[in-house]
Amino acid sequence: MANLTINGKALTLDVEPDTPLLWAIRENAGLTGTKYGCGIAQCGACTVHMDSVATRSCGISVAEAEGKTITTIEGLASGDALHKVQKAWIAQDVPQCGYCQSGMIMAVAALLNEKPKPTDADIDEAITNICRCGTFQQVREAIHTIASA
């Protein structure tokens, strides 16, 4: 059993403490927006916010996540109002296949939370997610659009 706070809800999940947070989110909490890409914290498809910090959920256990505030892609919007990153992603048609974009959006939201006007160097350092479709150009442009709004 693990007690996790995900998207503002306190959940008691029937998982072993060493279960990766990713799989507890996907299979026990039923929130499949957070994606499995590598399982070794390389690709970033599983990025969530843990206490507002972009975190690769495949690489930490539920035991480590207990007591933390976890936000997944499903919890990024405020009710019906999409987060500014989601809005920019739609307006600028960022995703291609979209599979990496939950993680990409969560990583970008965390960056903008910390640095509302990131430079290209800031983006290069903070956004290390893999996108095999190659949406990097649109990702960068969308971040700058949000920052200059």
Partner 1 sequence: MNKHVSPKMNRRAFVIGAATAGAGLAIGLDLPFGGPAVVRAADGSPEVNAWVVVRPDDTVVIRIARSEMGQGSLTGLAQLVAEELECDWTKVTTEYPTPGQSVARKRVWGDFSTGGSRGIRSSQDYVRKGGATARVMLIEAAANEWKVPASECTVAKGVITHKASGKTTTYGKVAEAAAKLTPPADVKLKDPKDWTIAGKGLLRLDTADKTTGKMLYGIDVKLPGMLNAAIKDCPVFGGKLKSYDEAKIAGMKGVKKVVKVGDTAVAVVADTWWHAKTALDALPIVWDEGENAKVSSESIAKWLAEGLDDSQPAYVGNKNGDVKAAIAGAAKKVEAVYNYPYQNHATMEPMNATALYTADKCEVWCGTQNGEAAFAATLEASGLPADKCDVHKVMPGGGFGRRGQTDYVRQAVLIAKEMPGTPIKLVWSREEDMAHGRYHPITQCKMTGAFDANNNLVGLHYRLSGQSILFSLRPEALQNGMDPAAFQGVAQSGEAAFGYSVPNLLVEHAMRNPHVPPGFWRGVNVNHNAIYMECFMDELAHSVGQDPLEFRRKLMGNHPKHLAVLNAVAEKIGWTTPAPKGVYRGIAQVMGYGSYVAGAAEISVTDNSKIKVHRIVASTDPGYVVNPAQVERQIAGSFVYGLSALFYGGCTVKDGKIEQTNFDTYNSMRINEMPKVESVMVPSGGFWGGVGEPTIGVAAPAVLNAYFAATGKRIRSVPLRDQNITFA
Task: Annotate each residue in 50-79 with x if it binds partner 1 (CB under 8 A) or - if it does not, as one string.
Answer: ----------------------xxx-xx--
Instruction: Tell me if 135 contacts partner 1 by CB under 8 A.
Output: yes
State in angstroms the smallest separation of the CB of 3 from partner 1. Answer: 18
108: Cβ contacts below 8 Å, ≥ 6 apart = 85, 127, 139, 142, 143
The closest of 61, 60, 62, 59 to 13, measured between CA atoms, is: 62
Selected from 6, 95, 118, 147, the binder of partner 1 by CB under 8 A is 95
- Terminal Cα-to-Cα distance of the chain (whole angstroms): 44
Enter the tokens of residue 124: 């290069």
Which parts of this chain interact with partner 1 (CB under 8 A)?
A: 16, 19-20, 23, 27-28, 30-40, 42-43, 45, 72-74, 76-77, 82, 85-86, 89-90, 93-102, 105, 123-125, 127-140
